[in-house]
Amino acid sequence: MNIEQGNSFVQAFQALPLMRSLDDLYPGFEYWYVNTVVPGVVLGRDQLLLAKDQGRIVGVALGKRSDVETKLRCVRVLPEYERKGLGIRLIDRMIDVLECEKPHCTVAEEMLHAYSRAFVQRYGFALTAVDKGRYRRGRLEYAFN
């Protein structure tokens, strides 16, 4: 398995099927991805990492680095690759790409259990805010760093 940095229109769209389920947690995610992230990847404003196993995309990480914000935007791994360290490898690599040990990131309440332990214990991330209704009415979003 290898992790490669994507910077093309084609690579950005190849990653989309793995992330479509995020539309449930972040309404309008696919629209945002196609209209914000894809151009950002092509123009170098956004960072895309693709984990591939025998040519098949099995994991994705998105990041952003600008003068205003450095952010770990998203990490997704196919269910059959979960709990095998791939998510950690993607985060480690994205931290290197972003050149920031503690990028800003937010986590939906449904995903907090999957990320909080690694964020706090492995990376030393600090919980900085809990926002109700940030992306979905009545739902919590946890912000780190």
Instruction: Sheet containing 140-144: give its strands across.
Output: 105-108, 140-144, 127-132
pLDDT for the residue numbered 27: 94
2-103: in CATH 3.40.630.30 = yes
pTM for this prediction? 0.94
Q: What value does the mean pLDDT take over residues 1-12?
A: 95
140 three-class SS: strand
Structure confidence by residue, pLDDT tens digits, 17-37:
999 989 999 999 999 999 999
Structure confidence by residue, pLDDT tens digits, 111-137:
999 888 899 999 999 999 999 999 999
